[in-house]
Structure 1
Amino acid sequence: MPGPIPMSYLRSPIGLGRAAVVLLGLVIAVDLFAVYADFSLYDVTGDLVNGATGEAVFRRTDAVVSLDSLAGKVQLGSLAVCVIGYLCWFVRVRANAGVFDPGEQSLQPWWAVVGWFVPFLNLWYPRGITLEIWDASGPEGTRRSHLLVNVWWTLWILSLIADWMGDLHYEERFGAGGNHAVAEFSLIADVAEIVAAALAILVVLRLTRMQHEKALARAGVRVEV
């Protein structure tokens, strides 16, 4: 077991981890509402594509489009709040990983935030940073499986791709065919995001526990709550 780390301290990720879990749960709840809106839009625009007409159909279409628009706005707000909370936790566990095993971290700490927002780099940098934190936070001399992180990241990328595919049809938004395609891709994106958010909760819980257990096991390292 490594000796004490002079003049170094860890800060508990437990509080921020709980907050991140709650906010991810909020995203899941909002996404479930969005799935309902997506399915409603997919259903009604499918009727239009198949030739359905009449005042009742058009009134229902207007109502469903408004519901879908509302769902999108609520999703954006919940995701923005979740991003803030999640990144606060992510920065904390990255800092702790730098204490546990500085040599395991190939990127500067600020990449734990910036890496999520740089186009193209954000498709793999956050996953790579997470894996390095994961490896540094595990028990000394062991490596835990990366399966959970990899499946979570795959589902997250899938949701982004489906969202992007929906955006390609946005220019036809007010036509039945365009709305139908947008609803189809939005439905796929939201379902993938729900599963990704659920897996993200498991990542947060597992990594938080790993760091807490390792901090307790490291003699000479002060744990600050």
Structure 2
Amino acid sequence: MGPGWAIGAWFVPVADLWLPYRVAVDMWGACSPLPTEGELRRVPVWPVNLWWDLFAGTTLLGRYAAMRFDTADSPAGIDDAVTLYLAVDLLYAAAAGAAAVFAVRLAALERLKATEGPYWAPAGA
């Protein structure tokens, strides 16, 4: 994908549920050092997965909370929807923290690849 997709992927209806994740995984892979011959070392992708799982799950839960709030016909229903909104806000804060972890680790991978080259250093070096 071209560089415009890093921003544009967020605005494509329906595809915004997976295109930004694909862009993030592609950036992660591009910044990860390549394994040397005979080694299978890969950088774990958990920071990308953690951020995206929290973000996408929270977005879907937020839509569900909005639907519950709109269809609430009693004070108890409204109370349940507001409780869901509280959970959504807390999960968005967790997703923001996970995004920060992802960004810091991605920058570290970029810095490592820029200073040490495209391959992992040999084990004894």
Distance (whole Å) between structure 1 residues aligned to residue 102 and residue 22 of structure 2: 14
Distance (whole Å) between structure 2 residues aligned to residue 190 and residue 171 of structure 1: 18
Distance (whole Å) between structure 2 residues aligned to residue 171 and residue 164 of structure 1: 11
Match of 1:112 in 2: 6
Instruction: Letter of the 2:58 partner, please give it.
Output: S
Aligned residue pair count: 113
Q: CA RMSD in A?
A: 2.0
State whether residues 62 and 88 of structure 2, in contact with CA within 8 Å, keep that contact through their aligned partners in structure 1: yes
State whether residues 155 and 195 of structure 1, in contact with CA within 8 Å, keep that contact through their aligned partners in structure 2: yes
Match of 1:203 among 74, 82, 102: 102
Distance (whole Å) between structure 1 residues aligned to residue 56 and residue 116 of structure 2: 36
TM-score, scaled to structure 2:
0.79
Match of 2:24 in 1: 130
Instruction: Letter of the 2:45 partner, please give it.
Output: H
Distance (whole Å) between structure 1 residues aligned to residue 58 and residue 44 of structure 2: 24
TM-score, scaled to structure 1:
0.46
Q: Which of 175-184 and 197-206 deviates more?
A: 175-184
Q: Is 1:161 the equivalent of 2:60?
A: yes
Distance (whole Å) between structure 1 residues aligned to residue 117 and residue 24 of structure 2: 21
Distance (whole Å) between structure 1 residues aligned to residue 28 and residue 86 of structure 2: 32
Q: Which deviations, in whole Å up to 9, do the C-alpha atoms of 1:6-33 show, x marking residues without a partner?
A: xxxxxxxxxxxxxxxxxxxxxxxxxxxx
Unpaired segments of 5 or more residues in structure 1?
Answer: 1-106, 220-225
Unpaired segments of 5 or more residues in structure 2?
Answer: 36-40, 119-125
Match of 2:15 in 1: 121
Shift of 1:122: 0.9
Larger relative contact order, structure 1 or 2 (CA cutoff 8 Å, min sep 6):
1
What percentage of aligned pairs have identical amino acids?
26
Q: Which of 186-195 and 123-132 deviates more?
A: 186-195
